[in-house]
Amino acid sequence: MTRQSRRILFIWAVAVFICLSVLVLTLAFGFRYDFQNNRLVKTGSLVIKSNTEAQVFINDKLEGHTSFLSGSFSKKQLLPGIYTVRVQREGYFSWQKEIEVAEGLVSDFSRIVLFSQGQIERTLNDQADILFVNRALHKTAYLGKDALSFYEMDSNQLIYKSESLLFDPATLGIIWGLNGKEALAFDTSRTVYFDLNKKTFRDIGSPKPYHLGTAALNNGRIYFLKPSPKQSVGGKNELISFSVDNLKSIVLSKNLASFLAVGNEVYAVTNPPRQLLKMGWNGENRQILAELGSFVKPV
């Protein structure tokens, strides 16, 4: 081999070494080439942790399992973009979400809860744990031994977990706000309002003053029928609006037999003479829709 050949071979070896070093360092620092956009980008990572061992699919491709001991799964060196991630296990409702992976960041979903398909709308476990489901609002409320937790039903993502709160599991009830952003939990001795947007709660005392059996909740106000102080035979009631914020009540309507909250309106039936009423949440725009008797007569 001539001297010139050795020199050329040496130059090629140095060039290959430099290229390999750059490639190794690029991968080590989390960079990958994006062939779709023809550029070098810094990758992101995905971390998932579930309450049970489960399979993890990314864009419908099985990428692995959450670990048996910690329940966690991680995927590194993902190109920036939107990925469809599904966590599933046989016999459980699956969790699925569109997740954005950003350059140099970790997308962390460490509070995923998979609910057993054997659970019904109210399930009593060990006489302590209770699950409430509102299918219309796609929300669930779970009472553990010392806290009440709220979840998105579709994704099983934790919305809010309260501080230590003790409820009687045998008498616990949940009233969901019509907008899905609030809830009222009560038993025979206490009533607690939850603002799921602000992730706060407020204890408003005994449930007795609020007649919660047929109550409705909307925008921080509890609506319920209260027997009139001057009630006579026939069951006259007042429709009360109680503010959780300032703990004050106002009377929206009197002489009612029942009411129903639908969307942005309240419908009520009066005591004799029977009338079907419609009004706003503050009692505004009150209208008589029909005279009720043995037949319905539109007004």
CA dihedral (91, 97, 103, 108) positive or negative: negative
Please check whether residue 108 lies inside any domain of the structure.
Answer: yes
Q: Are residues 217 and 289 in the same domain?
A: yes
Q: Please give the angle made by the CA atoms of 154, 159 and 163, to the nearest 5 degrees.
A: 145
CATH assignment of the domain containing 95: 2.60.40.1120
Q: Are residues 219 and 273 in the same domain?
A: yes
Q: Identify the pLDDT of residue 27.
A: 58
Please check whether residue 223 lies inside any domain of the structure.
Answer: yes
H or E segment to which residue 20 belongs: helix 3-28
**φ, ψ dihedrals at 145, nearest 5°:** -75, -25
H or E segment to which residue 235 belongs: none
Distance CA 123, CA 187 (A): 17
Edge-to-edge strand list for the sheet holding 148-152: 122-125, 129-134, 139-143, 148-152, 158-161
Distance CA 82, CA 5 (A): 51
Please check whether residue 130 lies inside any domain of the structure.
Answer: no
Q: Are residues 105 and 218 in the same domain?
A: no
Tokens of 122: 């109210």
Q: Are residues 211 and 258 in the same domain?
A: yes
Q: Identify the pLDDT of residue 123.
A: 44
Q: Identify the pLDDT of residue 233.
A: 47
Q: Identify the pLDDT of residue 126.
A: 43
pLDDT per residue rounded down to tens, the chain (299 residues): 677 777 777 677 777 777 766 666 555 556 666 667 666 778 888 999 888 889 999 999 999 988 877 778 988 888 888 999 999 988 888 888 888 888 888 888 888 888 776 554 444 344 345 678 886 778 888 887 778 899 887 777 889 998 888 888 888 899 999 888 999 999 989 999 999 999 999 999 988 888 888 899 999 999 999 887 665 444 578 999 999 999 999 999 988 888 988 888 999 988 887 889 999 998 899 999 988 764 444 54
Q: Identify the pLDDT of residue 140.
A: 87
CATH assignment of the domain containing 191: 2.40.10.480
Please check whether residue 12 lies inside any domain of the structure.
Answer: yes
Q: Are residues 105 and 202 in the same domain?
A: no
Q: Are residues 211 and 102 in the same domain?
A: no
From 220, 234, 224, select the one nearest 268 (Cα to Cα): 224
Q: Identify the pLDDT of residue 243.
A: 94
Q: How many domains, the chain?
A: 3
Q: Are residues 29 and 61 in the same domain?
A: no
Distance CA 35, CA 26 (A): 16
Q: Are residues 176 and 61 in the same domain?
A: no
Q: Residue 264: which domain range?
A: 168-298
* 291: Cβ contacts below 8 Å, ≥ 6 apart: 273, 274, 275, 276, 297, 299
Please check whether residue 150 lies inside any domain of the structure.
Answer: no
Please check whether residue 281 lies inside any domain of the structure.
Answer: yes
Q: Are residues 26 and 80 in the same domain?
A: no
